[in-house]
């Protein structure tokens, strides 16, 4: 039976006169948390000495009392964006994103847009950096620290622009086109150990990765029907790729229906399986029901990629999930956005609200909550702290109702519930 959602303790915005967004949050050993994304502003809350407007990676560290301890930007004179932060075994951080720059904090650019990884200490000071890419759009969306002390990256590569390069440093493998999943293995010091791409001749975008005992799982979306994809269900599917520890393809699975289905995050579950969250616009094949324009779609799979259960959530408008975390009690917290005001969604403050829901291990809703103002509010990540408080990050254009202040166009959004 559904229970009341935890109260919202605060809704805060950070930014300047241009655009900011939080893409990732991680809890820290001191009981606080670090928020990571990007900023376009050179005023307001942004600490910078630059005089020209461009995107930089933006990292903010908060203590256990939610006070901002420090913040840092990283980038050059062109657009650089951050997408994921993790804590490392030595108490520091690794951040990943993309870079178009070759100056200031970035010393090299291999083409239009490169994958950019930075290792930081606990104070946010850079210890090493790794840049990899070719002539086209190459973006790093996800990173994990692996059991051998290194790192595995979930990225995309423009294989057409690279001329087939990207499977290792020397070999061309010209059989794909456009964007592909790009798995990159780094050593503990950021050296590239291997790079492998997977996909077909259309668009394949890897948004998240997870390590298994015998390899890695990469997830995202694909609308390809050839090369590495053998069973596309129609339009974009949740595309799940399993590789071994050397990057060899073990299996791949397309999950979805005949419309657009995209997966954004994956987590290991306590029973050794995996939970994927994203959105679906389909109402057939693997999707057994559909409420509106788009629904949150949650799929539990086993280590072979077979569906254990799947459920959709939302109302008759557009609802999406961007993030999931295993809660302290073994259930799941999901964050995204909603435009609905019916079925699973009990309130709506405006165009798009942040939507947070907690489901149990079988997929039943325990509680759900809409948070926002009268404009567009999105959640991109969620974390539960050791004290049971829930922190959600994203972006907002609102300046009313639950979002009191807007600093510019789009602000970084920080929400805490308990």
Q: What pLDDT, in 10s, does the model give residues 226-275?
A: 999 999 999 999 999 999 999 999 999 999 999 999 999 999 999 999 99
Beta bridge partners of 119: 94, 128
Written as six digits, the tokens of 335 are 């964050």
Sequence-separated (6 or more) residues with CB below 8 Å from residue 387:
31, 64, 418
If one counts every other C-beta atom within 10 angstroms of the C-beta of residue 302, the result is 13
Residue with tokens 């979306």: 221
Paired strand residues for 378: 395
**pLDDT at position 109:** 95
Residue 189 has pLDDT above 90, yes or no: yes
pLDDT of residue 173: 55
Supply the mean pLDDT for the chain.
95
Mean pLDDT of 4-16: 97
259-290 residues labelled b (16+ CB within 10 A) or e (exposed):
bbbbbbbbbebeeebbbbbbbbbbeebbbeeb
Please state, as a whole number, how many other Cβ atoms lie within 10 Å of the Cβ of residue 375: 18
Helix (H, G, I), strand (E, B) or coil at 159: helix
pTM, 2 dp: 0.96
- Please check whether residue 113 is in contact with residue 132, taking contact to mean a CB–CB distance below 8 angstroms: no
Percent of the chain whose pLDDT exceeds 70:
98
pLDDT at 1: 58
Q: How much is the average pLDDT of 120-124?
A: 97
Q: How high is the pLDDT of residue 48?
A: 82
Per-residue pLDDT, averaged over 368-385, amounts to: 98
pLDDT at 38: 98
Q: Per the structure block, which two tokens stand in for 315?
A: 């109302």
> What integer pLDDT is reported at residue 3 of this predicted model?
84
Residue pair 402/418 in contact by the 8 Å Cβ criterion? no
Element (H, E) at 348: none
34-80 confidence digits (pLDDT tens): 999 999 999 999 988 888 899 999 999 999 999 999 999 999 999 99
């Amino acid at each position: 039976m559904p229970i009341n959602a935890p109260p919202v303790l605060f809704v805060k915005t950070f930014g300047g006169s241009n655009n900011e967004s939080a893409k990732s949050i991680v809890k820290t050993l001191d009981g606080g948390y670090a928020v990571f994304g990007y900023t376009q502003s050179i005023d307001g809350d942004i600490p910078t000495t630059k005089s020209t407007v461009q995107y930089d990676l933006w990292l903010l560290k908060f203590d256990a009392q939610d006070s901002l301890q420090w913040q840092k930007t990283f980038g050059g004179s062109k657009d650089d964006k951050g997408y994921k932060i993790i804590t490392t075994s030595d108490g520091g951080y690794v951040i990943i994103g993309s870079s178009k720059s070759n100056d200031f904090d970035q010393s090299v650019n291999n083409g239009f847009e490169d994958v950019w990884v930075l290792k930081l200490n606990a104070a946010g000071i850079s210890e090493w950096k790794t840049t990899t890419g070719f002539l086209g759009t190459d973006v790093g969306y996800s990173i994990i620290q692996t059991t051998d002390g290194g790192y595995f990256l979930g990225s995309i590569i423009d294989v057409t622009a690279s001329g087939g390069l990207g499977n290792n440093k020397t070999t061309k493998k010209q059989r794909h086109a456009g964007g592909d999943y790009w798995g990159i293995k780094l050593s503990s010091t950021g050296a590239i150990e291997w790079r492998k791409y997977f996909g077909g001749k259309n668009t394949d975008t890897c948004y998240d990765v997870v390590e298994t005992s015998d390899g890695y799982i990469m997830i995202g979306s694909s609308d390809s029907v050839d090369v590495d994809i053998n069973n596309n269900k129609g339009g974009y599917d949740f595309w799940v790729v399993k590789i071994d520890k050397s990057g060899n393809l073990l299996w791949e699975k397309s999950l979805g229906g005949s419309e657009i289905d995209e997966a954004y995050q994956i987590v290991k579950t306590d029973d050794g399986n995996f939970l994927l969250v994203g959105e679906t616009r389909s109402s057939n094949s693997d999707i057994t029901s559909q409420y509106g324009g788009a629904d949150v779609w949650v799929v539990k799979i086993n280590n072979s990629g077979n569906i254990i259960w799947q459920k959709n959530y939302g109302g008759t408008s557009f609802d999406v999930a961007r993030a999931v975390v295993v809660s302290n009690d073994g259930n799941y917290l999901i964050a995204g956005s909603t435009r609905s005001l019916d079925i699973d969604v009990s309130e709506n403050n405006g165009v798009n609200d942040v939507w947070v829901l907690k489901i149990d291990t079988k997929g039943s809703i325990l509680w759900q909550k809409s948070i926002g103002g009268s404009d567009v509010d999105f959640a991109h990540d969620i974390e539960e702290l050791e004290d049971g408080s829930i922190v959600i990050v994203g972006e907002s254009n609102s300046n009313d109702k639950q979002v009191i202040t807007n600093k510019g166009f789009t602000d970084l959004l920080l929400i805490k519930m308990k």
